[in-house]
Amino acid sequence: MSALRHALLDYLHLRRSLGYKLSRAEKLLRQFLDYLEAAGAVAITTEHALAWACQPKNIDSGWRSQRLSVVRGFANYLQNIDVHAEVPARDLLPWRPRRASPYLYTEQDIVALIEAAKTLSSPLRVATYQTLIGLLAVTGMRVGEGINLDRDDFDATHGVLLIRHAKFNKTRELPLHPTTVSALRSYLDRRDRQRLRVRTPALLISPAGTRLLYCNVHSTFKRLVHQAGLLPRTRSCRPRIHDLRHGFAVRTLIEAYRDGADTRQRLTVLSTYLGHVDPAKTYWYLSASPELLGRAAERLERHGGGRP
């Protein structure tokens, strides 16, 4: 194993000990080292990093910038142990990320997605995607968290899901509504699932009896969006599976305003439920919904006695 590959293992171990998962970064960096070895290079140079980041020629500027950023992080680490390592400048491939506008699904949209899942190739696949979409909609969990759930993470007796090793390696429990508990029980008790003699501990499985793959879930969800007839609202507001999480957060806050509840307390609880490191990470959802902003403004005006 080359010195660079040894250094990569140490780098990934260090970053992961700080809570980063780096699955995509590891894949990209291994590809970059393959490129260096093919070029006969024994150290990272700006020239090689830039040439690799721009491959293939038809990728967009954002993806090029992300590829170079991954290399830059590794090169920064290498400079502490290898004086020959060059760190590419930040402005080599400038790019300003644009945050997508959340596509807030209506209840009818979610029903349409679940109905669209009936067109999938097998009864078990239908049930799996209907269960996944419903679970994401009513818990606001991240897609990766849903895929990583094991059967033992579901406590049907107490109606709780355990989210393990989430973002920043956090673990949390999610209380579930009785209807959600019942739906998960029904899914686990399906005969076609039992006949597979599933070896994987995964809660949600493919027709082959394996854990779902992140890329396949996204690809299938795009098909379901098309099947359900859901269209982009603007160029930056397109139906994504992650927006089921946004919708859950917005509905929770809207219900707090409707009920006259303490929204600051509800926001703190919501932040914990979503797995955010601190409530400030949850505030971004406030700008996602005109209805939510309107209710916040009404309460502010009411508490301020009509004063601006």
Is 185 labeled as catalytic in the residue annotation?
no
Of 13, 9, 14, 18, nearest to 170 (Cα)?
18
Is 276 labeled as catalytic in the residue annotation?
yes
Rounded CA-CA distance 97/244 in Å is: 22
Structure-block tokens of residue 258: 């409707």
Catalytic residue among 72, 142, 193, 251: 142
Task: Identify whether 102 is preceded by a cis peptide bond (ω within 30 of 0).
Answer: no
Of 111, 180, 84, nearest to 141 (Cα)?
180
Is 99 labeled as catalytic in the residue annotation?
no
Q: Is 213:199 a contact under the CB 8 Å cutoff?
A: no
Rounded CA-CA distance 33/29 in Å is: 6
Q: Is 110:137 a contact under the CB 8 Å cutoff?
A: yes
Catalytic residue among 21, 242, 295, 299: 242
SS3 204: coil
Residue 92 neighbours by CB distance under 10 Å = 15
Q: Is 267:254 a contact under the CB 8 Å cutoff?
A: no
Structure-block tokens of residue 291: 């209805």
Of 210, 207, 193, nearest to 147 (Cα)?
210
Structure-block tokens of residue 294: 């309107």
Catalytic residue among 151, 167, 190, 299: 167
Is 105 labeled as catalytic in the residue annotation?
no
What's the farthest any 2 CA atoms get from each other in the chain?
A: 73
Of 260, 123, 98, nearest to 194 (Cα)?
123
Of 12, 2, 87, nearest to 46 (Cα)?
87
Instruction: Give me the active site residues, please.
Output: 142, 167, 242, 245, 276, 285
